[in-house]
Structure 1
Amino acid sequence: MRVYRWSNAVSLALVLALTGCNAPSPGAAASGVAGDSTSTDAADPGAIDQPYEDVPPATAPPGSAMPGQGAATDSLAHWDGFGEAQFGMDDEQVKLVWPGELVGTPADHSQCYHLSPAGQSDISRFAMMFEDGTFVRYSVSADDLVAPGGGKRGMDTARIDALYPGRVTSSGHKYVPDGHYLRITEDGGPHVLIFETDGGGNVTEWRVGLPPQVDYVEGCS
């Protein structure tokens, strides 16, 4: 009987070939899962329990949360409206796009009234003005809402001037001694932003809207 003797080189080549057949795939190595496609998370305690593909975040159902109680509140205030509520809409259209309940009714024989999110203890926190059935202005006294361009309650006059350079027109406040109205017209548009300050020059509230309603200093008058 003839005996075959394998050279060391041949033996080494055979071992490497067999090892390559059992090597895990690059994708399996990256995910920490063994190359055997029959393995499961239960059989492999080191396997991750998260999906390998990106899963879009769940969308919360509409609620009655007031503006400012969520992320990206600085993106809600616009020159032409607030969120999806745009100036020129009637109250029914605004209620359809608003993510919660709005309350408020016009007074007898009045063409001007406000709608506010249900649950507010103070209407001045956020209110939308309607005149002749049309959304024309919104007013804010909340600390966590940011006006178009970056201004907000608590800022001083110097900060407002820096945010809106060359665009601020100042006039004396009708009721607050040494207070002011800081009026800013939209660049290339008809809308107006007004900050009210106290006697120390700090913003106490602001509003955005269309003239002449945005210049009303006593709400609907």
Structure 2
Amino acid sequence: MILRFRKSKLKSTVGRAKRLLVIAVPALGMSGCVMMTGQISTLRPVSALVTHIMVRATAVGALISKVHQRLDILQPLEKEAVSIGGLGPVRLGMSIQEAANAAQVSFVVAPMTQSELCQYYLPEVYDPEKATRVASIDGIGLMVVNDQVIRIDIWSESPIKTLSGLGIGSTIEEIDAVYDGQIDVTPHPYTDGSYVTLTSEAAGSNLYSLVFETDKEGRVTQFRTGQFPAVTWAEGCS
């Protein structure tokens, strides 16, 4: 059994880092103005302040660099987009072996699986030369029934988005705008959030749809594409 690990919120980290830099720039400018007035008694503390600001800016720069490096090492499957029919090269209706071949990854049965008839598979990076799994790919789950992929879940904190740019953290208003109001919003059965489901007109199909789960603030916490009725199952394979 392979446990799921969650990614850090990269976007929010970058956002915080950028705000720190914006705060640092005005502070540095104010320090320069004080130094030019010739108030000798303030030179030493201002100098110390400048040093502190520069150290802080260097640390923030290093943080941004690390975040960018993390973004650069996203696995190919994490850079794909979710559509009505699948995730990048992985299409609904494929066998799990066909999905593995298409995505060039391996899949392992998830620990959440409670039925042999319905199972979740989690993707992992596979090294064919060493014949070993080398890294997990978090935030993606394939629901498989009768050896067919019938649903693809994108879980909290995954970087994956839809073809329209919707993803974790998107709002109901943004979903509504993208699909021109062709959505059904219903109460979440277990939380204070909502289910946002594309209508058949928006999905262009009576067989497949996209479902977004939101928190009480109306922000997406996870979403999925899949066949009816599996795409609407609140408890997955349970």
Amino acid across the alignment from 2:75: A
Amino acid across the alignment from 1:134: Q
Indicate the residue corresponding to 2:152 in structure 1.
138
Shift, 1:162, TM fit = 0.9
Indicate the residue corresponding to 1:181 in structure 2.
195
**Secondary structure of the structure 1 residue equivalent to 2:231:** helix
Amino acid across the alignment from 1:208: T
Following superposition of structure 1 onto structure 2, how do residues 207-218 of structure 1 map, counting pairs within 5 Å?
A: 207-218=224-235
Indicate the residue corresponding to 1:98 in structure 2.
103
Q: 1:108 to 1:212 in 2, by over 3 A?
A: closer
Amino acid across the alignment from 2:77: P
Deviations 1:82-122 (A, max 9, x none): 12221111112112212222211796862111111124385
Is 1:115 aligned to 2:115, yes or no? no
Runs of 5+ unmatched residues, structure 2: 1-73, 125-134
Q: More strand by proportion, 1 or 2?
A: 2
Amino acid across the alignment from 2:221: T
Q: 1:105 to 1:143 in 2, by over 3 A?
A: closer
Runs of 5+ unmatched residues, structure 1: 1-63
Indicate the residue corresponding to 1:127 in structure 2.
141
Q: TM-score, normalised by structure 2?
A: 0.57
> Conserved in 2, the CA contact under 8 Å of 1:156 and 1:201?
yes
Amino acid across the alignment from 2:151: R
> Conserved in 1, the CA contact under 8 Å of 2:209 and 2:225?
yes
Q: 1:194 to 1:148 in 2, by over 3 A?
A: farther
What is the number of residues matched between the two proteins?
A: 150
Q: More helix by proportion, 1 or 2?
A: 2
Indicate the residue corresponding to 1:65 in structure 2.
75
Shift, 1:150, TM fit = 2.7
> Conserved in 2, the CA contact under 8 Å of 1:172 and 1:181?
yes
Q: 1:169 to 1:161 in 2, by over 3 A?
A: same
**Secondary structure of the structure 2 residue equivalent to 1:161:** helix
**Secondary structure of the structure 2 residue equivalent to 1:214:** helix
CA root-mean-square deviation: 2.3
Greater Rg by CA: 1
Higher relative contact order, chain-length normalized (CA < 8 Å, sep 6+):
2
> Conserved in 1, the CA contact under 8 Å of 2:84 and 2:203?
no
> Conserved in 1, the CA contact under 8 Å of 2:123 and 2:137?
no
The CA distance in 2 between the partners of 1:98 and 1:199, in whole Å, is 35
Following superposition of structure 1 onto structure 2, how do residues 20-99 of structure 1 map, counting pairs within 5 Å?
A: 65=75, 67-68=77-78, 73=79, 75-99=80-104
Q: TM-score, normalised by structure 1?
A: 0.61
> Conserved in 2, the CA contact under 8 Å of 1:104 and 1:114?
yes
Identity within the alignment, %: 27
Q: 1:105 to 1:163 in 2, by over 3 A?
A: closer
> Conserved in 2, the CA contact under 8 Å of 1:79 and 1:148?
no
